Amino acid sequence: MLRCFAAFAVALLVLVQPSPSRAETVPVTFLLVNDADQMAGSDEVRGGYARIAAVAKEERAKGGHVFLVHAGDAISPSLMAGFDRGQHIITLLNMVKPDIFVPGNHEYDFGEDIFRTRFAEAEFPVLAANLSGADGKPVGSIRPSVMLEVEGAKIGVVGLTAEDSYVKSSPGALKIGPSLEAGKREAEALRQKGADFVVAVAHAGRALDQELFRSRAFDLILSGDDHDLMVFFDGKTAMAESKEQGEFVTAVDVMLSIQEEDGKRKVSWWPGFRPIDTAGVVPDAEVQAKIDEFQADLSKELDVTVGKTTTPLDSRRPAVRTAEAAIGNLIADAMRLAVKADVAVTNGGGIRGNRVYDAGTQLSRRDILTELPFGNRTVKLEISGAGILKALENGFSKVEEGAGRFPQVSGMVVEVDLQKPAGSRVVAVQISGEELDPQKTYTLATNDFMARGGDGYEAFAAAKPILNERDGKLMASDVMSFIRAAGEVAPKPEGRIRVKG
């Protein structure tokens, strides 16, 4: 009897004993690149797809779980994209093989049809939870998210395309919804499916990055758009951005610790950040050979001199997006003269060379097309003085953010007070030596993107077209003709934009 009771007690003890816990540690590395539209990089020292490929190959060769993530802005703008609408970048990406790609605003630069064509050619996963066709259906093979499974760990990845593409680019009838709303919805769905760790890959500006961060819907946010080198972690959510052009490839090493106890799953993690400067990276030979092939094709047509600048030109982002720039004056003057307009306004964000030309530089077709790679055309509008004022207020509304809408002008002098709130910063405007008359009608040269309301220039979209984009010439051609006719040009800041504050 006693023996039976003892046996029963032991059996009962085994039954009520808590099941042993099981812990796993899974290392995962995310390699982030973003805003890489120049196939050879921003200079000869660092960046470009051959170096990105080399970093990815080296990291993958170490073993473990490595995911190459591209956060968008690839197929445009670039010199080559002006000819092949970004096909060369898809070719290179197919060689590099990113594990995740999310479209940035510049993926829509050539319209909906080219967007669909380019990503039908893609041999890598493309994600965008906030993107659909006009009919509400998915666009080709683009998916909202993906679940990656590594050693029993489930990692959900949400793609969020640039929600401001309607302002910055030309997505046509494609529907792009709010990133935060779509991201939270998809993150919740992934967690319901068992995701242990959720990553948002977003092409988003700083303000939206912070909204995504504060939502706590994601464990890790990998962002593009601002061209920042940035890593951040507050103990709960991590975030990174990897500058531009592959100058840095930022590795985010995540150590996932997964513990199961009593059928419950507990996940903890910790990130490590390794921004990899590609200046010391030997380019991948196969990818470099393809880049050299593309470059050779370009050289036949582009390495032809059009004229000389006797003054220095600076097309770097801060120069053309925050102040009057010599190169902005050159371009705006060429546009105004080409269509015989009273004034000209073009957006600093459309000037893309991101370099300095010393005084005495011989300017080539390549230089001009590198600076103006979008294939925009010069158009002529009839617009009221009130419309010009509204447009200028828009142009100066986001100077602090370095927004591309900053205006480079010709035929006018604008006084601006940046201490005043956006929408009331323009103090005075003079055209041909006279104060702007809100009731008077003027003729204005701009580019076709802005004439459609791009970069927030809604006043131009409401103006009367005199020379439309169908009949206008390429901006780059107008600039080349202007320089060629002069032989030598000497643009410089001359007080067209006078900034206070």
For 304-319, how does the pLDDT look when each residue is reduced to its tens digit (9 = 90+)?
Answer: 999 999 999 999 999 9
Q: What is the pLDDT of residues 351-383, one digit of tens each?
A: 999 999 999 999 999 999 999 999 899 999 999
- Specify the CATH number of the domain 303-500: 3.90.780.10
CB 306 within 8 A of CB 364: yes
The pLDDT confidence band at residue 12, using thresholds 50, 70 and 90, is: very low
The pLDDT confidence band at residue 16, using thresholds 50, 70 and 90, is: very low
Give the integer Cα–Cα distance in Å for 242 and 275. Answer: 8
Q: Which ranges in the chain are annotated with CATH 3.60.21.10?
A: 22-290
What Cα–Cα distance (Å) separates residue 436 from each residue in 84, 431, 440? 42, 6, 8
CB 335 within 8 A of CB 446: yes
Q: Is the pLDDT of residue 288 over 50?
A: yes
Give the integer Cα–Cα distance in Å for 97 and 347. Answer: 34
Give the integer Cα–Cα distance in Å for 437 and 260. Answer: 73
Tokens 């592959």 belong to residue:
246
pLDDT attached to residue 42: 76
- Specify the CATH number of the domain 22-290: 3.60.21.10
The pLDDT confidence band at residue 5, using thresholds 50, 70 and 90, is: very low
CB 203 within 8 A of CB 161: yes
Q: Is the pLDDT of residue 3 over 70?
A: no
Q: Which ranges in the chain are annotated with CATH 3.90.780.10?
A: 303-500
The pLDDT confidence band at residue 22, using thresholds 50, 70 and 90, is: low
pLDDT attached to residue 211: 98
CB 396 within 8 A of CB 426: yes
Q: Is the pLDDT of residue 37 over 70?
A: yes
Q: What is the mean pLDDT of residues 416-437?
A: 97
CA contacts within 13 A on the Cβ side of 276: 24
Quickly count: other Cβ atoms within 10 Å of residue 300's Cβ.
8
Query: For the chain, what percentages of helix, strand and coil (3-state, to nearest 5) are there?
Result: 35, 30, 35
Q: What is the pLDDT of residues 202-225, one digit of tens each?
A: 999 999 999 999 999 999 999 999
Q: Is the pLDDT of residue 410 over 90?
A: yes
DSSP state of 280: G
Start-to-end CA distance of the chain, whole Å, equals 96
CB 431 within 8 A of CB 442: yes
Give the integer Cα–Cα distance in Å for 160 and 69. Answer: 13
- Please state which of the ranges 32-46, 143-157, 397-411 shows the lowest mean pLDDT: 32-46
List 200's β-bridge partners, or say none.
158, 221
Higher pLDDT, 467 or 20: 467
Give the pair of three-digit tokens for residue 393: 């207020």
Give the integer Cα–Cα distance in Å for 501 and 484. Answer: 38
Instruction: Classify 165 as helix, strand or coil.
Output: helix
Give the integer Cα–Cα distance in Å for 26 and 269. Answer: 9
Q: What is the pLDDT of residues 441-459, one digit of tens each?
A: 999 999 999 999 999 999 9
Query: Hey, what amino acid is at 289?
Result: A
The pLDDT confidence band at residue 260, using thresholds 50, 70 and 90, is: confident
Q: What is the mean pLDDT of residues 85-90?
A: 96
Higher pLDDT, 407 or 168: 407
DSSP assignment of 44-74 equals SSS-SHHHHHHHHHHHHHT-SEEEEEE-S--
Query: 323-352 burial by CB neighbour count: b if 16+ within 10 A, else e?
Result: bbbbbbbbbbbbbbbbbebbbbbbbbbbbb
Radius of gyration of the chain from its Cα atoms, rounded to whole angstroms: 27
Per cent of the chain over pLDDT 90 is 87
Q: What is the pLDDT of residues 329-351, one digit of tens each?
A: 999 999 999 999 999 999 999 99
pLDDT attached to residue 23: 66
pLDDT attached to residue 309: 98
pTM of the model: 0.81
Higher pLDDT, 24 or 314: 314
Q: What is the mean pLDDT of residues 144-156?
A: 96
Sheet holding 238-242, edge to edge: 145-150, 153-160, 197-203, 220-224, 238-242, 229-233
Q: What is the mean pLDDT of residues 262-272?
A: 91
Instruction: Classify 117 as helix, strand or coil.
Output: helix
